[in-house]
Amino acid sequence: MYNKRVVVAIGGNSLTPTDQSNWIGSQFKNTRTSIESLLPLIEQDYSVVVTHGNGPQVGIALRRVEETRDKLPDIPLGVLVADTEGSMGYMIEQSLLNKLKENGIDRSVATVLTQVVVDKNDPALLDPTKYVGSFYTEEEAKKLAAENGWIVKKDADRGWRRVVGSPIPTDIVNKKIISGLLDADNIVIAAGGGGIPVYVDERGLYEGVDAVIDKDTASALLANLVGADELYIMTAVSKVALNFGKPDQKDLDKITLEEADRYLKEGHFPYGSMGPKMKAAILFLRNGGKRVIITDIEKLSEAIEGKNGTSIVKN
């Protein structure tokens, strides 16, 4: 019997190559470093699901498509999400299997390409805000938009980019398979990049959506659906803070669900940084979760023991 069932959501930047001249080798290296922090959980017989971001990786894939569209067939965004979920899942799976073998731990690891259901009428699909792909001049962007049916917007002062919808996930197609793998004591890698967005048509069949799903929100939903006790959201800082980056910054060690909700509404957690993570934490706790930890992946073990990170609990 497992100790706890947990979902560990690793940020895509933790797995991003730091050596642009050796993209894959560098990504493998960073993946191996990142999964070191999972070993203590496995040694303590936790039932573990690993999710991960893919922003930098899918951005590169999309740019490759954009820059070769006059030579090679176009690939829709949903398929690129699937591509990166598979390739990154392979890297995490192999790195984790090797680490288990090195430590004499006999557990299997499975990567599940995960379809995540969204509402095809979600307002986020009608008013896209998620920037993806390359930067263009205004003239280039509007020309590509006319040619490809894109929606483009100015991304601060950095140029113009394509924007796509980021709908709210409502269900996980593969939830029973993932639960079954966990019940059989496997470690599962799932919902990479937020999962592959699909909707259910009038016949009850699945169809792909040209969108991306927030990784942390999808992780929270998956955690609830597989009965996880705790959700661990990995990010670039060791603790969540109020007034982040200001002279009166206050790091948070432990807060309640009510406090998290209040701080979010007060604007302490912007959309482009801690906001989605805090929303995911609230979602998980409201739907049966017991604790959320937000921290740097290297501080995870300390955070589980209450010695670092930010813990969010119901009360």
Catalytic residue numbers read 12-13, 130, 215, 277
Nearest to 41 by CA among 51, 53, 50: 50
Q: What tokens were used for 117?
A: 């259901």
Q: Are 190 and 112 in contact (CB under 8 A)?
A: yes
Question: CB-based contacts of 102: which residues, under 8 Å, 6+ apart?
Answer: none
CA distance 113 to 173: 10
CA distance 84 to 53: 10
Nearest to 309 by CA among 240, 220, 228: 240
CA distance 207 to 221: 20
Residue listed under structure tokens 């019940």: 183
CB atoms within 10 A of CB 130: 17
